[in-house]
């Protein structure tokens, strides 16, 4: 495996390297085989492999997204690859679920980071409030870059 040269936008894609694999489409009487470069990564997805545009160009394939079909020319006729609408829907639903879980985790991490940025510890704001005694009030900075913007929290504050 060669080192990875690509970049992977997103929350959790970790490039491991590149590998070249022979990819074959068709039947034994009418087939097409090309060596395709794959980026190997670690991230959760509903798919085992994703064929990129350069691979489609190499096969001279024409995708028909509406019909979930790919066609490519061959010496003995056209090779047609068809998909299953139910399987495509299941993969799409699983991809949406994975994305929602990743986004929710990222938001939780941002909240945790923002809450620990001010104090330097791992307590969340509601955990800090539980530590305030009945006669204590605590100053909380609202904007980390502007210390003049603050408020107080406590159990014995007046209504002003």
Q: Whole-prediction pTM value?
A: 0.50
pLDDT band at 13 (very low <50, low <70, confident <90, very high): low
Alpha-carbon distance of 63 to 149, in angstroms, equals 56
In a domain? residue 28: yes
Helical H segments across 15-136, by residue range: 53-59, 85-119, 125-130
Is residue 18 within 8 Å of residue 3, measured between CB atoms? yes
Rounded distance between C-alpha atoms, residue 131 and residue 133, angstroms: 6
Indicate whether 73 and 131 sit together in one domain. Answer: no
18 with 79, same domain: the answer is yes
The tally of CA atoms less than 13 A away on the side-chain side of residue 37 is: 13
- As a whole number of Å, the CA-based R_g of the chain is 27
Residue 97 belongs to a domain:
no
Does residue 115 belong to any structural domain of this protein?
no
CA diameter of the chain = 87
pLDDT (mean) for 133-154: 74
Q: Which domain holds residue 46?
A: 14-83
| Domain tally, the chain | 2
Domain presence at residue 103: no
Express each pLDDT in 29-44 by its tens digit: 889 899 998 888 887 7
79 and 138 belong to one structural domain = no
In a domain, 55, yes or no: yes
Under the banding of pLDDT at 50, 70 and 90, the label for residue 23 is very high
Question: Of 83, 106, 138, which residue sits at a domain end?
Answer: 83
Residue ending a domain, choose from 26, 59, 83: 83
Greater confidence (134 vs 81) lies with 81
Q: What are the phi and psi torsion angles at 5 (to 5°)? A: -115, -10
Q: In DSSP terms, which residues pair with 72 in a beta bridge?
A: 79
**How confident is the model over 41-73, as pLDDT tens digits?**
887 777 777 888 888 899 999 999 888 899 999
Give the dihedral sign, CA 82/87/92/98. Answer: negative
**Domain-located, residue 143:** yes
- Does residue 94 sit within a domain? no
Q: pLDDT tens digits, residue range 86-123?
A: 988 898 899 889 888 888 888 888 888 877 765 555 55
Residue 69's contacts (CB-CB under 8 Å, 6 or more residues apart) are 63, 80, 81, 82, 83
Task: Give the pLDDT band of residue 143 (cuts 50, 70, 90).
Answer: confident
For residue 131, tell me if it sits in a domain.
yes
Give 134's pLDDT tier (boundaries 50, 70, 90).
Answer: low
Residues 78, 20 share a domain: yes
């Amino acid at each position: 495996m060669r080192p990875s040269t690509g970049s992977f936008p997103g929350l959790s894609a970790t490039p491991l390297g590149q590998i070249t694999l022979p990819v074959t489409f068709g039947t034994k009487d009418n087939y097409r085989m090309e060596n395709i470069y794959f980026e190997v990564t670690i991230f959760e997805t509903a798919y085992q492999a994703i064929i990129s545009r350069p691979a489609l160009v190499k096969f001279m394939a024409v995708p028909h997204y509406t019909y979930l079909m790919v066609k490519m020319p061959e010496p003995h006729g056209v090779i047609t690859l068809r998909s299953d609408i139910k399987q495509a829907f299941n993969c799409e639903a699983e991809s949406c679920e994975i994305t929602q879980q990743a986004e929710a985790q990222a938001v939780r991490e941002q909240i945790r980071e923002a809450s620990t940025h001010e104090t330097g510890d791992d307590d969340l704001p509601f955990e800090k409030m539980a530590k305030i005694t009945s006669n204590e009030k605590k100053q909380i900075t609202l904007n980390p870059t502007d210390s003049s913007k603050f408020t107080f929290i406590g159990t014995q504050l007046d209504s002003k």
